[in-house]
A = this chain, B = another copy of it.
Amino acid sequence: MAERPRSGGPVKVTAAGTRQPSLTDVAGVAGVSHMTVSRVINGTGPVRPETRARVLAAIEELGYRPNSAARALVTGRTGTLGVVALESNLYGPASTLYGIENAAREAGYAITISSVSRPGRSSIADAVENLRRQAVEGVIVIAPHVTAGRALEAAPADFPVVAVGGGEAAPVPVISVDQRDGARRATEHLLALGHRTVWHVAGPEDWLEARDREAGWRETLERHGANVPQVIRGDWSSRSGYEAGRSLAKERDLDAVFAGNDQMALGLLRAFAEAGISVPRDVRVAGFDDVPEAAYFTPPLTTVRQDFIEVGRRTFGLLTQRMDGGDRHARALVVPELIVRESTGPR
């Protein structure tokens, strides 16, 4: 029953103002060395149960909180990952962010974000540099943008960066949803309904997702020997979809339209309603993303669902692999799913 004296020497107690208690303070109260306290906290090395209890009590009493800066300094690890996010309310990126944050938190990592208002080669590079200055251990770039991919081509080999949904050519691991496959599914679904061809309202040209969806649509039409109409280009917004719809409404043999995302599909529906074109009776419409509202559009929208939470989780997985020295050219594909609703329903 080694009843040690409750305090050894002159203990540096939280006296001068508001200084946070340190390991040494706890050690003083518990009557042990600071090392023993460290061992209790980290579970490294053996500690006698009574000692442990005494230390835990002291920690509780002082409200001790480990100093992460000191820990990071000595271990060289910060336990923080950076995410470069496009500053937008687009459903996909936001969901991906939460997926990543969840997976990271479970694994004991914190997430620091650096947002980018307009993606561009230098802004992405700046954001990454900004995060490196925060001493993150790795960076995830959510920027499904052509220029983002280009920015990543210069990614240094000695620092782990992964990209989600972009930068196919960059020497960093990439995880993405198979946009082509999704577009193929939507297009084939429309063709199977007997339409001779399918129009397409594409997203902005500098988005990889937009390109891939367009490519998937085009390939499918060509494979089926269908005529490939002129692409109409939008910017993902409902407004641009609306404008596309206004010009499409003038088209004579308009049968089916595949929109690059749900927002633009909404704009289409709006424009068609105004023009007295009934969906699905006169024209069938499909979208992409399956935002939660899509089921309540007028009419409910057929669309392609992407599992963003899964994307986030796998992205985190790819990053940890990369941090452990994994391949710079790893790739992962998430397969989307077609959700059929009334907008492509029976007439």
A: residues with CB less than 8 A from B are 18, 65-70, 72-73, 78-80, 87, 89, 91, 94-95, 98, 101-102, 105, 110-115, 117, 130-135, 158, 237-239, 241-242, 263, 266-267, 269-270, 273, 292-293, 295-298, 300
Contact = CB atoms under 8 A, between A and B. Distances in A.
Given A114-B105, A134-B80, A296 B72 contact: no
In the complex, which of the residues A91, A98, A131 has the most CB atoms of chain B within 10 Å of its own CB atom?
A: A98
Contacts of A115: 98, 101-102, 105
Q: Which 3 A-B pairs have the closest CB atoms?
A: A69-B72, A238-B296, A298-B298
Tallying the copies of this chain within the complex gives: 2
In the complex, which of the residues A73, A114, A158 has the most CB atoms of chain B within 10 Å of its own CB atom?
A: A73
22 contacts: A65-B133, A69-B72, A70-B73, A73-B73, A89-B95, A102-B115, A110-B112, A110-B130, A110-B131, A111-B112, A112-B112, A113-B113, A237-B292, A238-B292, A238-B295, A239-B295, A241-B296, A242-B296, A266-B293, A266-B296, A270-B297, A297-B298
Given A238-B292, A293-B263, A293-B293, A78 B87 contact: no
A69 B69 contact: yes
Nearest to A242: B296
Contacts of A79: 134
A110 B105 contact: no
In the complex, which of the residues A94, A95, A101, A237 has the most CB atoms of chain B within 10 Å of its own CB atom?
A: A94
Contacts of A66: 133
B65 A132 contact: yes
B113 A101 contact: yes
A63 B111 CA distance: 25
A69 B67 CA distance: 10
A269 B292 contact: no
A18 B160 CA distance: 13
Contacts of A101: 87, 113-115
A118 to B, nearest CB: 13
A273 to B, nearest CB: 5
B237 A263 contact: no
A131 B110 CA distance: 8
A68 B134 contact: yes
In the complex, which of the residues A69, A91, A295 has the most CB atoms of chain B within 10 Å of its own CB atom?
A: A69
A111 B83 CA distance: 11
B91 A98 contact: no
Nearest to A68: B135
Contacts of A158: 18
Nearest to A268: B296
